[in-house]
A and B are shown apart, each in its own frame.
Chain A
Amino acid sequence: MLKNKLNTRLFVTFSLATLLILNCFSATWDVPADQKEKKSYIKFDKQTSSQGEVLYNANCASCHGNPGKNNILKSLNPIPPDLSGKSSQALSDGDLQYILNTGRGLMPNFKNVISAEDQWKVISYLRGFNPNYVQELSKFDPNKSKLVKLTAKFDSKANILTVMALADEKSGKIPIIKAEIAVFVKRYFGNMQIEKTVLTDNFGKAQVVFPKDLPGNKTGDLEVLVKLFDENYGEVQTTNKLAIGVPTDKPALNEKRAIWNVLAKAPIWTLSLYLLGVFAFILLLLYLLNNLRKLYNSKTI
């Protein structure tokens, strides 16, 4: 009996210790070596920093607070670090971008929310709080992405979108191999990814299977976003309007007359009740004023 209790106690202590240790470990980020080394191809300057500040305030400040201002959302667990602090600044540019693209627990992943270029701008803003920081630019030439030709073709029988990624190099059109292709459909609030991110094959080709029941607009059009990401060619995206959705004709919530709509689209019943009331009042007023007029004139009679 006693032994049992002791065992339980030991077990609890051990578990707590493990948890604590795990917790400590989880404060570091396992960033793959190649990601760690990544560097920005944009030069960090005043302009990128102030553009980054706008993005930071819109996407990050709610949790991380304003750098150095100690207004972090402390009720989260773990508490989001002040990104201008020492430990966060010790992370490499690549680390930071990796964290933004993967997220962890309460730290959201911004991969499909903030473009790579904008992510570098946020990082540029954060680096402004670190006087010791010296930027190393990546060798990547952003002009290379202008060479990319992305085409998307839809096979309506098999419901497959085939993406071809070619680069217009001087030596002629060459396929972009092993580039990440992510396909999205525009929805009301942001983009919805179709299937998973796939890699292009040796011909620069990648395929994504579409579901058959995606609601489109009245004529069934869907706005399909194809994003390519490649080490050499950077980030490129195209938008195509494809008539591959299910035609849906749901009037928008603000199309019909409704309580929540603008004045011009007020429901008939509200309009008529209101106007009827005001009209009745005007009649009453006219009747009374006429009586007063008669009263005033009646002396002479």
Chain B
Amino acid sequence: MLTQLKIEKITSDLLKPIRLTKSFLIWMGFLGASLLVCLFAYFLQLRDGMVVTGLGDYVSWGMYISNFVFFVATSLIGMLISAVLSLSGQKWATPLARIAEIIALAFAAVAGLVIIMDMGRPERLLNVFIHGRIQSPIVWDVTVVTIYVLVSTLFLYIPLIPDLKICSEKLEKLPPFARNLYKFLSLNWNNTIEQKKLIKDSTRVLAIFIIPIALAIHTVTSWLFANTSRAGWDSTIFGPYFVSGAFVSGCAAVIIAMYFFQKNYKLQDYITDFHFNKIGQLLALVSLVYLYFNLNEYMVPGYKMKLAEAKHLKELFSGSHALLFWSTQLLGLIIPIILLLFKKMRKSGPLLIIAAFVLIGSWFKRYIIVFPTMEHPFLPIQNVPLNFKIYTPTLVEILVTIAPMILVLIIITILSKIIPIIPIHETIEQLEELEENKK
């Protein structure tokens, strides 16, 4: 009896955020308006061409490509939390799985757009499909990003099916078309044993396969760099270096999302200090792994100081990029690791601030990986104006870079308004299991 009551409370608690509120409309209005401004900047880029950016012959990869890497990176968190942790029996991550999946899907889907925004002639994207060569990492990247978006959609959708049924039955004041859509998408879910087994099997298979797919997407992204012979990129550990860095930015993104969902959607009973503590530990762990790869990545070329590498590393360590480099490494990685060792810092408030620093640091880390290398080619740059040699992003470029970020926020906000962001069905199942064990 008590269990039944609890189940009803869970259902109503978790369904509550699914309705239009004033704050939601204001937030969306703000996002929409900002997006329009950024899209105007993109319109300028389309109309006038890439001259409106700071990109050129020498630095042809700048903010946009850094943004792309950042987006692909952050999207990897879905794999870590929903697949790796759940397969290894880490039950605490269950309520976070859907948040991670939403983040994964939003970032992965938008990553594809970011690449198109980097193209002066986006209609030529078709050429990748018409003339693409299977030998080119670009083609691999297009392939795996598409696959990852599809698989992430299924990974979000399949465990959601029971919840969709609950939505169609329990949500009040729903327009009929929405109710029908929920019903249609819930695929005749009836909670039968056979259906449960189908969902369980599918989720498990997905959880297993999403691991190599996610590894592939970010490893291939790293190969876009490592497969070219250039100072700062010509590295054999770029794959794991990127993947470990991806978990760092993804964890930070999940923490920030957790914080806002907990506060705005009144989920204090479901996302607790326990969860913040756990994910804080996870962030510390992945950051330490990332730090280890950083050490390798800079120590090995830094010891040998080969000609071009030396020039590149000197600019990073003590030259014109030093401020950016050290603040990113210290504020975005090293200081957060130290802080995260303390339990007090793994409470929701401090953790939010740490995660914000880590996330911003992750973005700048990609920026540092991408453009300084472009400024240091093997053949010296001669007889060109200074602004060809030194990359400075323009306002238009910055706005176009912000556009996808806004888009991600819009996608996450909308998804969190139409599906329960804490899995209802699984929470109830866990509760029932708990009660079962008590008896």
B-binding residues in A (CB < 8 A): 73-75, 259-263, 266-267, 270-271, 274, 277-278, 281, 284-285, 287-288, 291-292, 294-299, 301
Does B199 reach chain A (CB closer than 8 Å)?
yes
Contact of A263 among B134, B154, B194 (CB under 8 A): B134
Evaluate whether A295 and B134 lie within 8 angstroms (CB atoms) in the complex, with A74-B383, A288-B206 already known: no
Tell me the bound Cα distance from A158 to B382 in angstroms.
Answer: 50
Shortest Cβ distance from A254 into chain B, in angstroms?
Answer: 13
Using CB atoms, name the residue of chain B closest to A293: B187
Tell me the bound Cα distance from A291 to B194 in angstroms.
Answer: 11
- Per-residue CB contact flags for chain B residues 135-161 toward chain A (1 = under 8 Å, else 0) read 100001001100100110010001001
Does B268 reach chain A (CB closer than 8 Å)?
no
Using CB atoms, name the residue of chain A closest to B161: A295
CB distance A298 to B382 under 8 Å?
A: no
Using CB atoms, name the residue of chain B closest to A275: B134
Does B190 reach chain A (CB closer than 8 Å)?
yes
Contact of B199 among A73, A74, A281, A295 (CB under 8 A): A295
The 4 closest A-B pairs by CB, nearest first: A299-B188, A296-B187, A291-B202, A263-B133
* Apart from A292-B202, A298-B190, 7 more pairs, CB < 8 Å: A270-B134, A270-B135, A277-B143, A287-B202, A288-B206, A294-B194, A298-B192
Does B335 reach chain A (CB closer than 8 Å)?
no
Evaluate whether A288 and B158 lie within 8 angstroms (CB atoms) in the complex, with A73-B383, A294-B198, A296-B187 already known: yes
Contact of B134 among A260, A274, A285, A288 (CB under 8 A): A274
CB distance B150 to A295 under 8 Å?
A: no
12 contacts between A and B (CB under 8 A): A261-B135, A262-B133, A263-B134, A270-B135, A274-B143, A288-B154, A288-B205, A288-B206, A295-B195, A298-B195, A299-B188, A299-B190
Q: What residues of chain A lie closer than 8 Å to B198, measured between beta carbons?
A: 291, 294-295, 298
Q: What residues of chain B lie closer than 8 Å to A281, measured between beta carbons?
A: 147, 151, 213
Q: What residues of chain A lie closer than 8 Å to B382, measured between beta carbons?
A: 75
- Quick one: which of B135, B154, B161 has the most chain A CB within 10 A? B135
Shortest Cβ distance from A281 into chain B, in angstroms?
Answer: 5
Shortest Cβ distance from B156 into chain A, in angstroms?
Answer: 13
Using CB atoms, name the residue of chain A closest to B190: A299
Does B429 reach chain A (CB closer than 8 Å)?
no
Does B189 reach chain A (CB closer than 8 Å)?
yes
Tell me the bound Cα distance from A262 to B133 in angstroms.
Answer: 7
Shortest Cβ distance from B214 into chain A, in angstroms?
Answer: 13
Does B360 reach chain A (CB closer than 8 Å)?
no
Q: What residues of chain A lie closer than 8 Å to B147, measured between beta carbons?
A: 278, 281
A-binding residues in B (CB < 8 A): 131-135, 140, 143-144, 147, 150-151, 154, 158, 161, 187-190, 192, 194-195, 198-199, 201-202, 205-206, 209, 213, 216, 382-383
Q: What residues of chain B lie closer than 8 Å to A261, measured between beta carbons?
A: 135
CB distance B188 to A287 under 8 Å?
A: no
CB distance B205 to A295 under 8 Å?
A: no
Shortest Cβ distance from A159 into chain B, in angstroms?
Answer: 41
Q: What residues of chain A lie closer than 8 Å to B190, measured between beta carbons?
A: 298-299
Tell me the bound Cα distance from A164 to B206 in angstroms.
Answer: 81
CB distance B135 to A287 under 8 Å?
A: no
Tell me the bound Cα distance from A261 to B133 in angstroms.
Answer: 9
Q: What residues of chain A lie closer than 8 Å to B140, measured between beta carbons?
A: 274
Using CB atoms, name the residue of chain B closest to A267: B135
Shortest Cβ distance from B281 into chain A, in angstroms?
Answer: 32
Q: What residues of chain B lie closer than 8 Å to A277, measured between beta carbons?
A: 143-144, 216
Q: What residues of chain A lie closer than 8 Å to B150, measured between beta carbons?
A: 285
CB distance A287 to B205 under 8 Å?
A: yes
Evaluate whether A278 and B132 lie within 8 angstroms (CB atoms) in the complex, with A284-B205, A288-B206, A296-B188 already known: no
Q: What residues of chain A lie closer than 8 Å to B202, measured between beta carbons?
A: 287-288, 291-292
Shortest Cβ distance from B184 into chain A, in angstroms?
Answer: 10
Contact of A301 among B144, B194, B199 (CB under 8 A): B194
Shortest Cβ distance from A288 into chain B, in angstroms?
Answer: 6
Shortest Cβ distance from A77 into chain B, in angstroms?
Answer: 13
CB distance A263 to B132 under 8 Å?
A: yes
Shortest Cβ distance from A171 into chain B, in angstroms?
Answer: 58
Q: What residues of chain A lie closer than 8 Å to B199, measured between beta carbons?
A: 295
Tell me the bound Cα distance from A270 to B227 in angstroms.
Answer: 14
Evaluate whether A292 and B187 lie within 8 angstroms (CB atoms) in the complex, with A271-B134, A285-B150, A287-B205 already known: yes
Q: What residues of chain B lie closer than 8 Å to A298, measured between beta carbons?
A: 188, 190, 192, 194-195, 198
